[in-house]
A and B are shown apart, each in its own frame.
Chain A
């Protein structure tokens, strides 16, 4: 099951990126079929691109090149793609991401699929745009540990990048171009049309779906909508004491202690490990956690309580989640 889901995810990502490349490759050879820059899955709204960063084949291609480039890290060893692995729905298989010189971060890298629809970024929600989010790992000590002006200096020495930047934005690869291009590429990482979307489910998955949408589990209270998230900030009782204070570090409100942005469940079958700190290794661990009602915590959501699901029901629920 895991292998087939991962393959599906990988194929989808390759298709999306290939579509981007197709536009770039065909623009210089006369009339050719116009391929879309990106494909919006059925039932999804059109992603909103900011006015200063409307998509083009050149911008998406440059963004992809920068996303894959280690030039963004001080040691020239880590790229965005180092932790956002295409074959795992642009998530990481490591518990927490590892930055330059083997420095361990404190959080698990989330999937980037459908980030175009997020109203804010980071687990505490302090970053309002994808363009600004790009600047976070570049500067973080445990990630790229670099400065975007030094990234600029490094990229300016690369003629191919300079030319690509000029074609895409009419200016050299400065902070504006670096942040815009990567964000533009990330907005095209759209994924839908899963078996759950197509209602192409086995009987076990259908039983799981009924459970998922039931008031018995209340899964959709937080994981509702086409992207299976409300983007709210919740404490799911993962622990009684958290090393990471979550949204509190942003708002300084005690009500926000250890509350984190609810993640999307799309491709959840391939994005292990789970939770903000990657502390749950498997999807079954996650289901067992919720079935137990979690740990006591003052900010724990009242929706998190013992569910009393049987082994068969857990199997069904897991099967459905793997079809998302």
Chain B
């Protein structure tokens, strides 16, 4: 009996010690177009500054994700597949892990060859690799679209007449990306924030006319190379300026502003009567939702450095 109690106590001690090192890990991708937040259906200038560009959808897979932490330890997430959709919040809970000091995060754009050619219909509904609408799978190649970017371009904002669809796939275009993200656990949480400067996706790709490239070569191949080499970097701690958004002007039009944390909890709303919804906000990453009767709510990721 004494031996049993002793064993239980030892196990409890081990469990407590282990759990003390466990932290909730989240991974956030902040879409940007240069310095501005990347927001679907928003007008931007192209890299060459010679055209207007309006993204209408951007989705891509992340797979073979791993985190290097605490002196070179590697925690892999071999069964984790993320379908990043930049028309929705792009923050992902990775679970609780013994990670206290992150050094880098590694991921691949696309789906690894071992899974790329399996049958989507065999996955449970809502699994990222199950059938999607719009589809992220190409039947005749039995492979997933690694990245699907749809946009409009034009010489002026009133005439966005050119349509571009670049849907990129192919095992040969499956690239590994590592982003150094030095970040420590705080209050039981580890937030890995990565900036995706999505303006770089189109570097070297001519979108001055309509372009349909659904393939593994040409502009599709180049877009994935750009994604691997130019797009991702660690988030800085400076706040994101949302130049396209004036809180006061929005409220004068009858609009509402709400701020949510990355777990979806409502932090505050302009209906609370605060002069500015951002005053006194603690440092962190938030989702800012602008809504107005009769219009589709507008989501923006907001990195706040505290005041």
Binding site for B on A (CB under 8 A): 52, 122, 124, 126-129, 131-133, 135-140, 147-150, 174-176, 178-180, 250, 252
Taking the nearest CB of chain A, how far is it from the CB of B137, in angstroms? 7
Instruction: Please state if A129 and B119 are interface contacts (CB–CB under 8 Å).
Output: yes
Q: A122-B140, A250-B141 are in contact. Are A139 and B135 (CB under 8 A)?
A: yes
Interface residues of B in 173-227 (CB under 8 A from A): 216-217
Taking the nearest CB of chain A, how far is it from the CB of B64, in angstroms? 22
The residue of chain B having its C-beta at the shortest distance from the C-beta of A133 within the complex is B139
Instruction: Please state if A135 and B139 are interface contacts (CB–CB under 8 Å).
Output: yes
Taking the nearest CB of chain B, how far is it from the CB of A107, in angstroms? 10
Instruction: Please state if A147 and B131 are interface contacts (CB–CB under 8 Å).
Output: yes
The residue of chain B having its C-beta at the shortest distance from the C-beta of A123 within the complex is B140
B66 within 8 A of A: no
Q: A132-B142, A135-B121, A176-B121 are in contact. Are A150 and B133 (CB under 8 A)?
A: yes
When distances are taken between beta carbons in the complex, the residues of chain B under 8 Å from A178 are 121
Measured CA separation A242–B275 after assembly (Å) = 68
Taking the nearest CB of chain B, how far is it from the CB of A155, in angstroms? 14
What is the size, in residues, of chain B's interface with A at 8 Å between Cβ atoms? 21
Q: Which of A127, A148, A176 contacts B142 (CB 8 A)?
A: A127
Taking the nearest CB of chain B, how far is it from the CB of A121, in angstroms? 9
8 contacts between A and B (CB under 8 A): A126-B140, A126-B141, A132-B139, A136-B139, A139-B135, A147-B135, A148-B131, A175-B121
Q: Which of A124, A126, A128, A131 contacts B121 (CB 8 A)?
A: A131
When distances are taken between beta carbons in the complex, the residues of chain B under 8 Å from A127 are 139-140, 142
When distances are taken between beta carbons in the complex, the residues of chain B under 8 Å from A174 are 121, 125
Q: Which of B131, B138, B141, B142 contacts A175 (CB 8 A)?
A: B131
The residue of chain B having its C-beta at the shortest distance from the C-beta of A147 within the complex is B133
Taking the nearest CB of chain B, how far is it from the CB of A277, in angstroms? 16
Residue of B117, B125, B134, B139 with most chain A CB atoms under a 10 A cut-off = B139
Instruction: Please state if A139 and B139 are interface contacts (CB–CB under 8 Å).
Output: yes
B104 within 8 A of A: no
When distances are taken between beta carbons in the complex, the residues of chain A under 8 Å from B117 are 128
Interface residues of B in 107-122 (CB under 8 A from A): 117, 119-122
The residue of chain A having its C-beta at the shortest distance from the C-beta of B119 within the complex is A132
Instruction: Please state if A175 and B120 are interface contacts (CB–CB under 8 Å).
Output: yes
When distances are taken between beta carbons in the complex, the residues of chain B under 8 Å from A140 are 139-140
B130 within 8 A of A: yes
With A127-B140, A135-B131, A149-B131 known, 11 other A-B pairs at CB within 8 A are A126-B142, A128-B142, A132-B142, A135-B137, A140-B139, A147-B134, A175-B120, A175-B121, A176-B121, A179-B119, A252-B216
When distances are taken between beta carbons in the complex, the residues of chain B under 8 Å from A250 are 141
